[in-house]
């Protein structure tokens, strides 16, 4: 992916003269302004937007598709049974999800993972179910199998049904077989059960004929079948070019991978024009999907497979924890399915199991159970069934939790709920030593002089109200999950960082894709400490953040630190769904003190429904923060643009400090 390094457009833009500087607010109408200089192509720009990624569109550019207004909840066979899935096991968990009341709490999807397929029938390519394990799919003639009876049964239980495929020709269990894997059978062509070159045919079968509601599309076909693979050399599988190099973003075919997943999205939209589907992208956070997943799927994996180990869970949590601006109703970061019930999260490790569940809940992760529910002990059912915690995950505003305090040992994550003044909090001790944690009113963006009400969501008990601060003693791996109510620090109005679901990253300003070093790296299970150890692998370093710079520094302009604001790179454009609910937009803007690039100037521009409303002068490093204060009455979509004059050698970090909307 050499072209990702310095796109030609960027070099061209660097040699162009900068746009003349303009006065600050108030402004003449947009039409009277000189045209902006062409801009470098941002690495990620919204689908369907104009060529210039900084050009405001005046409309909310996020595509709306599928049926996932809230994080999907349900059950999946993989973490419970791997390929040893069968109909009896699946129905055992489906019946239990109803009988235990979990369905009524929202766990509706019953998803079949890898292992269901017998083969792709030749020559017509129709997929055949392995009826030895799914007997209700049996039909005459025998290769006319159908999942319809099973799906109908699930629907009659007021459940929904999910199916699984691969974006390539072959699937994961074939590429990484285990001793007990049930694998597709037959000729090379018959064993090509992935949907590559069969997207329309397969999705029509799964959705129109069989009636599924949800599909997970894995990615092993794009990385496990290179020419050098022994199983390919031996003729077992056809070679497929290696599109995904999991630990090398520079060698990964980002655009091709995105294009393949977009074909699935488009086929689903054609086959289910009423939007009744959920599309789950599973390429393990590779190919910069953490930036474009929102445009293509309803959920997208942000990391490698979760394992039932503490450090794996923490790693997967980290892969979503800094991506709060990429998630929202219809589109969710997916740190993988729950492993509650197994290994470090089994019934003997309820502290870890609760922390795992609480972290998933506050991050708006899909809550997909991976356990044989027909034999689940009460202690585990109480975790999945913690109604007040599930309600936080399912809060309709869809704001992912934002990190309010961060360190390697402890974190405080705060999620704004749909009721103003109501928030959820998780304080987590990631370490193995006891922790004395203090929760400050400032973490909550609440007034420190007014009482703050607190409810412990695990015990479902109110704790004494506090002002200013309260504290908790947490053992190893322990967390506390609270619901709090207080008087917002902004008496009227909200910080943008309190409404991440209403922000859409239309252009991220990233020059060249780089691996994100913030994600915890566990010792690999397969290879242990052979070799030199895992390195940062997932792109996304430099994406905009709430209450942090893109590189995880505190927001700071000319020596003044700001607890609230949006940190971004220059040449970014963020959209804010204002829906005509606010009258004023305000922010203190400037180049961040942490910016490596100190030679260029940046103009901060605020657009309302496509019209320029106000802008800063061209600001340089170490200029004092400039106050933007703009009338946004009646505006539906605000767009905030940080426009760099010329192009620096290093990324320029900018801060929209204390950015807020008020009614």
Chain residues in the site for ligand GAL (CB under 6 A): 78, 113-114, 172-173, 218, 220, 282, 284, 305
Of 288 and 479, which CB lies nearer to ligand GAL in the complex structure? 288
Both tokens of residue 413? 């994550």
Cβ partners under 8 Å of residue 204, min gap 6: 271
Q: Give the closest residue to 591 by CA, choosing from 547, 652, 543.
A: 652
Shortest Cβ 286–ligand GAL spacing (Å): 11
338 prior amide bond cis, ω within 30? no
DSSP 524: P
Using only the alpha carbons of the chain, give its radius of gyration: 25
- 593 labelled catalytic: no
Smallest separation (angstroms) from ligand GAL to the CB of 176: 7
Least separation, in Å, of the C-beta of 163 and ligand GAL? 12
**Min CB(308)–ligand GAL separation in Å:** 13
Which residue, 282 or 313, is less far from ligand GAL as judged by CB?
A: 282
| Least Å from the CB of residue 80 to ligand GAL | 12
Which residue's CB is nearer to ligand GAL, number 161 or number 507? 161
Of 105 and 172, nearer to ligand GAL (C-beta) is: 172
Query: Shortest approach of ligand GAL to residue 225 CB, angstroms?
Result: 13
- DSSP string covering 442-489, please? HHHTB-TTS-EEEEETTTTEEEEEESSEEEEEE-TT-EEEEEEE--BS
Catalytic entry in 218, 395, 516, 547: 218
177: number of Cβ within 10 Å: 13
What's the closest the beta carbon of residue 79 comes to ligand GAL, in angstroms?
8
Instruction: Judge contact between 222 and 168, C-beta under 8 A.
Output: yes
Q: Are 183 and 130 spatial neighbours (Cβ–Cβ below 8 Å)?
A: no
Do residues 355 and 393 touch, judged by C-beta distance below 8 A? Answer: no
Closer by beta carbon to ligand GAL, 78 or else 551: 78
52 touches 38 (CB < 8 A): yes
Contact call for residues 522 and 317 (beta carbons, < 8 A): no
Least distance between ligand GAL and beta carbon 380 (Å): 20
Q: How many helices (H) and strands (E) does the chain have?
A: 15, 31
- 145 Cβ contact partners less than 8 Å away, ≥ 6 residues apart: 118, 128, 129, 131, 134, 137, 138, 139
CA distance 566 to 548: 7
Nearer to ligand GAL, 368 or 589 (CB): 368
Q: At what angle do helices 310-321 and 350-362 cross, to 10 degrees?
A: 10
Helix, strand, or coil here: 415? Answer: strand
Decide if 202 is catalytic. no
Backbone angles phi, psi at 127, to 5 degrees: -75, 145
For 323-388, give the secondary structure using H, E and C. CHHHCECCEEEECCCCCCCCHHHCCCCHHHHHHHHHHHHHCCCCEEECCCHHHCCHHHHHHHCCHH
Cα gap 581→592, rounded to integer Å: 30
Closest to ligand GAL by CB, 305 or 388? 305
Q: Which is nearer to ligand GAL, 49 or 113 (CB)?
A: 113
Output 202 or 498, the one with its CB closest to ligand GAL: 202
Report the candidate in 344, 364, 365, 366 with the shortest Cα–Cα distance to residue 354.
344
Candidates 266, 305, 623, 631; catalytic one: 305
Element (H, E) at 640: strand 637-645
Beta carbon of residue 114, minimum distance to ligand GAL (angstroms, whole number): 4
Indicate the residue whose CB is closest to ligand GAL.
172
Residue bearing tokens 């539906």: 636
> Annotated catalytic sites, by residue?
218, 305
């Amino acid at each position: 992916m050499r072209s990702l390094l310095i796109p030609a457009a960027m070099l061209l833009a660097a040699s162009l003269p900068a746009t003349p500087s303009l006065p600050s607010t108030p402004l003449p109408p947009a039409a009277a302004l000189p045209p902006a200089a062409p801009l470098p192509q941002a690495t990620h720009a919204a689908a369907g937007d104009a060529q210039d990624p900084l050009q405001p569109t005046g409309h909310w550019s996020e595509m709306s598709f599928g049926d996932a207004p809230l994080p999907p909840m349900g059950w999946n066979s993989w973490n419970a049974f791997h390929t040893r899935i069968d109909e009896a096991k699946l129905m055992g968990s489906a019946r239990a999800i109803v009988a235990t009341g979990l369905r009524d709490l929202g766990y509706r999807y019953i998803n079949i993972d890898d292992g269901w397929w017998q083969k792709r029938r030749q020559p017509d390519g129709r997929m055949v179910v392995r009826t030895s394990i799914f007997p209700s799919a049996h039909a005459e003639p025998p290769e006319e199998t159908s999942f319809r009876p099973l799906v109908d049964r699930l629907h009659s239980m007021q459940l929904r049904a999910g199916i699984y495929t691969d974006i390539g020709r072959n699937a994961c269990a074939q590429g990484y077989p285990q001793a007990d894997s049930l694998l597709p059978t037959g000729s090379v062509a018959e064993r090509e059960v992935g949907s590559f070159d069969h997207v329309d045919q397969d999705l029509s079968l799964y959705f129109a004929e069989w009636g599924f509601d949800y599909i997970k599309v894995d990615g092993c076909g794009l990385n496990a079948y290179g020419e050098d693979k022994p199983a390919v050399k031996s003729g077992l599988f056809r070679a497929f070019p290696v599109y995904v190099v999991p630990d090398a973003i520079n060698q990964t075919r980002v655009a091709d991978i995105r294009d393949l997943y977009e074909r699935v999205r488009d086929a689903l939209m054609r086959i289910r024009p009423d939007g009744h589907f959920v599309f789950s992208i599973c390429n393990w956070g590779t190919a910069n999907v953490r930036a474009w997943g929102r445009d293509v799927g309803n959920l997208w994996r942000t990391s490698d497979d979760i394992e039932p180990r503490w450090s794996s869970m923490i790693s997967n949590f980290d892969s979503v924890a800094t991506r709060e601006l990429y998630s929202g109703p219809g589109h969710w970061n997916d740190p993988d399915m729950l492993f509650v019930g197994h290994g470090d999260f089994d019934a003997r490790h309820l502290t870890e199991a609760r922390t795992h569940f609480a972290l998933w809940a506050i991050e708006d992760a899909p809550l997909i159970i991976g356990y044989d529910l027909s034999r689940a002990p009460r202690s585990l059912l109480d975790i999945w069934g913690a109604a007040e915690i599930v309600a936080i995950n399912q809060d309709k505003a869809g704001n992912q939790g934002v990190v309010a305090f961060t360190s390697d040992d402890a974190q405080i994550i705060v999620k704004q709920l749909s009721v103003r003044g109501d928030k959820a909090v998780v304080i987590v001790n990631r370490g193995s030593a006891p922790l004395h944690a203090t929760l400050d009113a400032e973490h909550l963006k609440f007034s420190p002089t007014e009482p703050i009400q607190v409810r412990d969501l695990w015990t479902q008990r109110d704790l004494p109200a506090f002002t200013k601060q309260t504290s908790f003693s947490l053992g190893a791996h322990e967390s506390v999950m609270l619901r709090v109510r207080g008087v917002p620090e902004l008496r009227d109005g909200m910080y943008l960082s309190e409404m991440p679901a209403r922000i859409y990253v239309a252009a991220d300003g990233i020059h060249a894709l780089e691996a994100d070093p913030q994600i915890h790296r566990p010792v690999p299970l397969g290879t242990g400490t052979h070799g030199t150890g895992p390195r940062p692998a997932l792109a996304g370093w430099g994406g905009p953040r709430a209450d942090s710079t893109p590189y995880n520094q505190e927001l700071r302009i000319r020596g003044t630190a700001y607890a609230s604001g949006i940190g971004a790179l220059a040449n970014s454009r963020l959209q804010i769904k204002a829906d005509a609910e606010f009258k004023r937009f305000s922010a203190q803007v400037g180049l961040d003190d942490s910016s490596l690039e100190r030679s260029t100037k940046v103009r901060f521009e605020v657009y309302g429904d496509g019209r320029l409303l106000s802008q800063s002068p061209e600001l340089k490093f170490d200029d004092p923060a400039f106050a933007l204060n703009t009338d946004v009455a009646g505006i539906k979509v605000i767009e905030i643009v940080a426009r760099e004059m010329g192009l620096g050698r290093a990324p320029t970090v900018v801060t929209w400090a204390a950015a807020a909307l008020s009614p």
